[in-house]
Amino acid sequence: MKRILITGACGQIGSELTPALRECYGADNVIATDIADPPACLKEGGPFKIVDCTDINAIGWIVKKFQADTICHLAALLSAVAEDKPNLAWKVNMTGLYNVLEAAREYECSVFTPSSIGAFGPTTPHNKTPQDTIQRPTSMYGVTKVAGELLCDYYYKRFGVDTRGVRYPGIISNETVPSGGTTDYAVHIYYEAIKERKYTCFLKKGTFLDMMYMPDAIKAAIDVMEANPAKLIHRNAFNVTAMSFPPEMIAVEIKKYIPEFTMDYDVDPIRQAIADSWPNSMDDSAAREEWGWEHEYDLPKMTKDMIDVLTEKLRVKT
């Protein structure tokens, strides 16, 4: 049975991966950590500790105390906020990962940590972006993600730490709203469509990006951690995707449920430049071949679920 420590448990992915891992491996075997106070469900659903992953002693202490054998390292700044606060992004995204890898080396843990479509850049082929290709990102977020991929590879080759990871696309979810990301519009649009019947998009029409619904993102994390190592040619940073669309395509799907919905555009030049440097669509065949990655949700199926769940949730709250 695994003993899993999660960093960044209160973030967009952590708030849903934590309960999923507790369900799979037993609540007492999964300790959630974050620098933020947790919502009641995370605190009551199993062990929780305030831990700052940029503090190497704190990370080492909790790994040892909990006798963790696996670390899911999710604490990170997203792309737009990293562009605004590059020093902090380096500290959280790089120092945090380094500390986790060091703790994993010392206490013999395996590590799952996500990379991102942000690890690609303007000189990367934008359509069907291959698994192994040019990676010269131009954002601080991207710099930390490529360096993180390399550092994970290094800890595996040099020290035998069992590091695994995926390059997530934009993740769409209805539990915790992401903050400071370039793909966040694809979450906000559903909330605004239900509450206001209109949305002003910060990316321009025609901006294709890879996306994934949270249940598939959770499945990808668990499946890659459970994958048979003998079958892995890559270890870290597998391209994984479920759909690729521009803003106007989500709007069309939403209109099927909310016909009066309208969308206009007020482009944020910083996030638009980041989005323009990222792939339009990734080729995730390596993940499909090496560990059987399969997504379940496409845009229509995800939209139906988002609208059903959020309509209920927002009605309760108003």
Q: Note whether 118 binds ligand SER by CB under 6 A.
A: yes
What CA–CA distance (Å, rounded) separates 165 from 112?
A: 5
Interacting positions 57-96 with ligand SER (CB under 6 A): 78-79
Residue 168 binds ligand SER (CB under 6 A): yes
* Size, binding site for ligand SER by CB under 6 A: 11
267 to each of 43, 82, 84, 235, how far by Cα in Å? 38, 19, 17, 37
From candidates 110, 116, 124, 129, binder to ligand SER by CB under 6 A: 116
Largest CA distance in the chain: 58
* CA pair distance 91, 76, nearest whole angstrom: 9
Residue closer to ligand SER, measured from CB, 18 or 79: 79
* Under rule CB under 6 A, residue 119 binds ligand SER: no
By CB under 6 A, residue 277 contacts ligand SER: no
**Do the beta carbons of residue 115 and residue 148 sit within 8 Å?**
yes
Strand pairing category for 238-239 and 166-168 = parallel
Q: Among the candidate windows 19-27, 103-111, 180-188, 237-245, which touches ligand SER by CB under 6 A?
A: 180-188
Q: With contacts defined by CB under 6 A, name the span among 50-58, 116-124, 151-159, 196-204 that binds ligand SER.
A: 116-124
Q: How far is the CB of 137 from ligand SER (least distance, A)?
A: 11
Examine residue 279 and tell whether it contacts ligand SER (CB under 6 A). Answer: no
* Residue among 104 and 240 whose Cβ is closer to ligand SER: 240
By CB under 6 A, residue 113 contacts ligand SER: no
Catalytic one of 98, 107, 141, 257? 141
Half-sphere exposure of 208 (CA within 13 A, CB side): 12
Q: Is the dihedral of CA 252, 256, 262, 263 positive or negative?
A: negative
Q: Which of 109, 5, 96, 106 is nearest to 56 (CA)?
A: 96
Exactly one of 131, 135, 182, 277 binds ligand SER (CB under 6 A); that residue is: 182
Residue nearest ligand SER by beta-carbon distance: 181
Phi, psi of 225 (to 5 degrees): -70, -30
Sheet containing 170-172, strands listed edge to edge, beginning at the edge strand earlier in sequence = 170-172, 209-213, 243-245
- Phi and psi at residue 146, to the nearest 5°: -65, -45
Please tell me whether residue 53 binds ligand SER under the rule CB under 6 A: no
Separation between Cα atoms, residue 53 and residue 45, nearest integer Å: 22
- Piece of 22-30, 176-184, 195-203, 217-225 that binds ligand SER (CB under 6 A): 176-184
- Tokens standing for residue 241: 């995707």
Q: With CB under 6 A as the contact rule, which of the stretches 29-37, 112-120, 122-130, 147-155 interacts with ligand SER?
A: 112-120
Q: Is 141 a catalytic residue?
A: yes
Q: How far is the CB of 141 from ligand SER (least distance, A)?
A: 6
- SS3 category, 49: strand
Contact residue for ligand SER among 183, 207, 280, 281 (CB under 6 A): 183
Could you tell me whether strands 243-245 and 209-213 are parallel, antiparallel, or unpaired per DSSP bridges?
Answer: antiparallel
- Work out whether the CA dihedral 145, 151, 152, 153 comes out positive or negative: positive
Nearer to ligand SER, 245 or 261 (CB): 245
If one asks whether residue 170 binds ligand SER (CB under 6 A), the answer comes out as yes
4 near ligand SER (CB under 6 A) = no
| By the rule CB under 6 A, 117 interacts with ligand SER | yes
Q: What is the DSSP string of 141-179?
A: HHHHHHHHHHHHHHHHHHH---EE-EEE-EEE-SSS---
Residue 142 interacting with ligand SER (CB under 6 A): no
Residues involved in catalysis? 141
Q: List contacts with ligand SER (CB under 6 A).
A: 78-79, 116-118, 141, 168, 170, 181-183
